[in-house]
Amino acid sequence: MTQMEAFGGSKILILDFGSQYTQVIARRVRECQVYSQIVAFSTPAKKLKESGARGLILSGGPASVYGKGAPHPDPEIFNLGIPILGICYGMQLMGHHLGGKVENSQRREFGATLLKVKAEARRGGETADLFYGLPDILDIWNSHGDKLTKLPKGFVAAAETDNSPYAAIADRKRHFYGLQFHPEVVHTPRGKEILQNFVYRICGSKMDWTMGSFIEQTRNRSAMTTWSWV
C-alpha cells in the first residue's frame, strides 16, 4: 500500500510546484473535512489514478512554464478523467499543456486587486459552480509575472481583472479550472468558498475526514496487516 492509498474516503491530491502556499492549500482542503495530500509534481499519472483521488490541485510556483528546468507534470494527468484546479503557475501549466499561450506580463500583478466574475460564468454548468454563492466582484490576492494570453481549446474565461482577461478559466466538459490568483491565502477573503465549491460541487467530495478518523483508519489497517502475517 502506497502512502497515497492510506485514506479510504474522499481525497484531493495537490501537486507541488514549489509554491510557498502549497501547505496552505492542503490545510484549506482539510478545513473542508476532506483529506488532502501533497505529492511531488513529477508523480506519474498512473500513481495518481491508483490513489483514487477525486480531484487534483496544481499549486503555484516561482518558475516560468518556458524556463529552463521549470517543473512540469506528467502530461497524462489531463487524461485521468477527474477534475483539476490550477492555481497561478498551476493554471499557466494547464494552459501551456493544453494548447493555450503563456507570456510574460508587461505589468507584474502582485497584491490585492478586484476580480470580476463574467456573465458567462453565471449561465449554469460547471463553470458557475466554482463561484457558486459568490458576488460578481471579489477581493483577491495575486502574485505572478506571467499570465495566460490565449485560451486552450474548450475553455472559457470565467473572470477577469484589469490586468488579465483570463484571471479564471474553465472547461465545463473536462472539469478543468484555472485561477490566476491565490484563493488559499487570507488576503483572498472568500477564497475558501471557491475551494469548497471545487472540492464539494465539482469533485463530489464528502466531509468524511478528521484527524481522528484518519488515525482510526490507519490503526485499523495496521491491525489487519499484522493479522495477515499470523
Alpha helical stretches, state H, the chain: 22-31, 45-50, 89-97, 125-130, 191-196, 211-228
Given the residues 96, 144, 184, 203, the one annotated as active site: 184
- Using CA atoms, how far apart are residues 228 and 219, in angstroms rounded to an integer? 14
Active site residue 203: no
Which residues in the chain belong to E strands, given as ranges? 11-16, 35-40, 55-58, 84-87, 101-117, 137-150, 156-160, 168-171, 176-179
What type of residue sits at position 100? G
Residue in the structure block whose three cell numbers are 460578481:
136
Report the C-alpha dihedral over residues 143, 146, 148, 150, rounded to 10 degrees.
Answer: 160
Given the residues 88, 96, 109, 175, the one annotated as active site: 88
Active site residue 88: yes
Distances (CA, A) of 144 to 18, 69, 87, 111, 148: 14, 18, 11, 9, 11
Given the residues 96, 144, 175, 182, the one annotated as active site: 182
Active site residue 97: no
Distances (CA, A) of 207 to 7, 82, 177: 13, 18, 22
Distances (CA, A) of 2 to 48, 205, 215, 220: 11, 21, 16, 16
- What is the CB-side half-sphere exposure of residue 172 using CA atoms within 13 A? 13
Just list the catalytic residues: 88, 182, 184
